Structure 1
């Protein structure tokens, strides 16, 4: 039962309603910050607790909290909550009252009606305590009477008010009012529905090395990647950059073996493949590596088939128009 009390005290600070199935619900009422002029207190924003005996349907909040905290299934947690609520009902019937630490006390009144007495705000309740200010006493006024020999100006009164303490007190009150206003501003906490304090786990994002290739109309796109595509990324290609040739022929069609998003990756592909016949065709935002070119598609296909080990080395090659 003590475990149930701690969960109720935890949840009532983060939710507006915590239900005890079959008995009633603790309801948190938000109150804004205020200043008590009579008792010289700044009262911060708080959530006072009330009890509504008409709300008896269990919404599963307590069971979910215990399930997360104890690492058990929801059904086992629900059975634990039902057993604890049954014990509370028995204590109400036998003792007439049940004390909930830091929340208040439930009493059994006339006609078995449950009455709630909240915890005093000055005690160690789940609510924020008020801030007591030192009482300000106005500074006295010093009167100095000076007698003169002249009859017309016999007495002179000098009044010297003491302002330092007054300024200090006013500054303290202003700071406390600002603090109360800041605390009264509502803050949306994204994890308010969770009662567990377990550390969340994070998964590192996976790096994407090659963008997807857009497919032209009427053609099937395939990408011929060497046996070790990971060797393209991170390869030191500086000595081989000058040896890579960009397209200089005028064939209308080319046999593309790879399409990459930047020139450096295309050059790295050619360097890793080691075929001196490979060329680069820059088209739009893609850099396509091709091996043959011609005026017609059939001519390009015939040239490609004439290359030894072409189909096994570049199984995903495709014809592209410039």
Structure 2
């Protein structure tokens, strides 16, 4: 039952509805944020709660597919396992009157009353973890004070201030001595020549770099480089293939060439399959004796057959180990360990050390 509950809890995190065939549907309802009171002073966070509808019992395949992926079962085995679990839940509810269903809630049925489901408060509310209630306060309006400016009093306006007068400035005259010291035309020509050659010397490096680039580009296009891209060839001369020698004829009396009948071929193939299958001895593999009780509910299946004779032959071919056989839905399953609980069966599977084994309910 715990396996079914874990799968339903997992699926409700990603789906809005999960159907347990023969029992009912678990529905995850989303509730947006809302105000708790009329004054809008308390805001509740968004939530996600679980509801149960006993009328929706049609199998949609969602739960069975999850069991097939996780438990490595076929779809038929998963559907059969779900039916047995629903029968077990119904019997347990009739005997106890109340059954907890994992972290989702509790089913209650007393005195012949219909089954009622009481969901847990935070069953699948994982998307809203950390969100708390919000308390709001009303905004109070404070009127602003209006100031009225009084008109200016013309009688008290101060008189303009009189600015002091500025004496006139005499025009600037250049002395004759300064004019006589001014440079002539020859001096100006000399300065121009010096400035020209200084600019040429400053740009000499750039000019040389430009000339070098132009020469390199010209040489590249004048003398192109021939790139030979031929594949590497082997330096060893090929040799002629050796001449095939004639094979000796095989005599018809050779036992290896004798034809086998169809029954002998089938028998040898089945024997080869049985011999190639791994033999798991509980004492050799783990050093701990496995549990084997035919009264247990769960078992660790190591092989399954469509015919009872094939299952019996499989058990007979492994005389060193203890096996049991159970039949359901036309399939004969051979098990090597048992347990009273599902978790114990998985522990027995780990002790068995067979990665191809699986847990099944008898």
The interval holding the TM-score normalised by the smaller chain is 0.3 to 0.5
Considering Cα pairs closer than 8 Å and 6+ residues apart, tell me whether 1 or 2 has the greater RCO.
1
More helix by share: 2
User: Which has the larger Rg?
Assistant: 2
Q: TM-score, normalised by structure 2?
A: 0.34
